[in-house]
Amino acid sequence: MQWRNSLCLLLAFVWFGLYLAGWYLELTRPAAPKEADVHPKIVFIPPGTPFNRIAELLKQEGLIYSKWGFTLEAFRLGLLDRLKAGEYEIDPRMSPAEILRLLAEGRVVTYLVTVPEGYNLWQIAPLLQKVHICDPEEFFAIVRNREFLKEMGIPGETAEGFLFPDTYAYYRGLSCRAMITKMIERFWEVWQEFAPRAKERGLSVLEVVTLASIVEKEALDPRERPLIAGVFWNRLKRDMPLQADPTVRYAVKKFRSRLRKRDLRVRNPYNTYVYRGLPPGPICSPGKDSIRAVLWPAETDYLYFVAKGDGTHYFSRTLREHWQAVQRYQLRKPASSASDRPSEKESSPKKSEEPAPPENGDAAKPQDEADRTDHPAPRESPPSAEKPPEERPGS
């Protein structure tokens, strides 16, 4: 009799165990069978969302079969308080355990945003706003924050030039500060390649990035970067103003419209027609090739260049040769005699409100070209050019 009672009790336990197992399997089954023709859904879990609200959200979206089964599985796996906020792509055919591991590991949906070479802060801000990372006001507050700049090791007054142009992965909910930090960290990662050469030449990172940003804006043809860098270094060594139109554009914030002659006379430290030496800081984010060109410039005695209208430049050693090139490529007439050439004083910007002649002869240019020089410069400096208070770099 006793063995019968024991057998009945054993059978009862087995039956109860099978019942619990069936109940567990039922509650923790996927919301859709493996063979179902369904598609993944994107769900966003805001920061600070409690577990029960996450379960409700997933149930509402049809991604889990049972909130109780989801909770039971989370308890079994020890993940009740380890789920992370973010945007996730979840397939209804995934088991609760798979979904829980996805959320616990923070495998959020990522997107890509590309910051082109030559973009400045006023171009990066709307780019990040478009992908819902940064509000422009918040963006500029961060890139101008002195404590943040010091923390990131940036020597300038803003982060201009140090938001490295590259393609970045981001996710919904990424903070503006985190995105800017990622871009600056990328710059310092790239800079390691160039730091020894800069030290060898006695140049600071600010000097290199500043000149590289001008080269970036001037060079339409990548092959000309070392030549353009060489021209600027030659002018700096001779204490000649750089006379780079992109610096004037940066000073007057004309990134699209054509420069006028009065713009070339604006008294702004970034105006390299008025002030000699380098401007106070970069005017855009230069790429690796422009940084490399500044540190390994072409060894020439060129002092001038003028656009030929085909995306390349004509480089000259003398003012006379340069003026002949200006007549040929800009004014479209032959240089006949010395009397046709302007003196140094005449070649300075005149008090006219007419637009400066376009370098490539086009009435309008795409945005990526609009910041590049629209003037047959560098030219000889106007007599009124002043030296800035900053120390000028050597070569």
Q: Provide the residue ranges of all domains of the chain, joining segments of one domain with +.
A: 29-105, 112-191, 205-370
Q: Residue 376's pLDDT is what?
A: 41
pTM to 2 decimal places: 0.77
Residue 334 — pLDDT band, cuts 50, 70, 90?
Answer: low
Distance CA(170)–CA(199), nearest Å, equals 34
The whole-chain average pLDDT of the chain stands at 82
165 preceded by cis ω (within 30°)?
A: no
pLDDT tens readout for residues 60-108:
999 998 898 899 899 989 999 999 999 999 999 999 999 999 999 999 9
Q: Residue 249's pLDDT is what?
A: 94
How far is residue 152 from each of residues 146, 185, 233, measured CA to CA in Å? 10, 8, 29
Distance CA(67)–CA(15), nearest Å, equals 25
Is residue 203 over pLDDT 50?
yes
Q: Residue 8's pLDDT is what?
A: 55
Backbone angles phi and psi of 146, in degrees to 5: -65, -40
Query: What is the average per-residue pLDDT within 208-216?
Result: 98
SS3 (DSSP) at 240: coil
User: For the chain, how far is it from start to end, CA to CA, in angstroms?
Assistant: 105
Q: Residue 254's pLDDT is what?
A: 85
pLDDT tens readout for residues 222-258:
999 999 999 999 999 999 999 999 999 999 998 877 8
**% of the chain at pLDDT higher than 90:** 67
Q: Residue 331's pLDDT is what?
A: 80
Query: What is the average per-residue pLDDT within 366-388?
Result: 40
For residue 355, give both structure tokens: 């637009």
Q: Residue 35's pLDDT is what?
A: 84
pLDDT tens readout for residues 273-332:
999 999 999 999 999 999 999 999 999 999 999 999 898 999 999 999 999 999 999 887
Q: Residue 179's pLDDT is what?
A: 98
How far is residue 255 from each of residues 135, 248, 260, 281, 312, measured CA to CA in Å? 21, 10, 13, 17, 21
The residue among 248, 311, 283 whose CA lies nearest residue 122 is: 283
The architecture (CATH level 2) of 29-105 comes to 2-Layer Sandwich (3.30)
Distance CA(229)–CA(380), nearest Å, equals 17
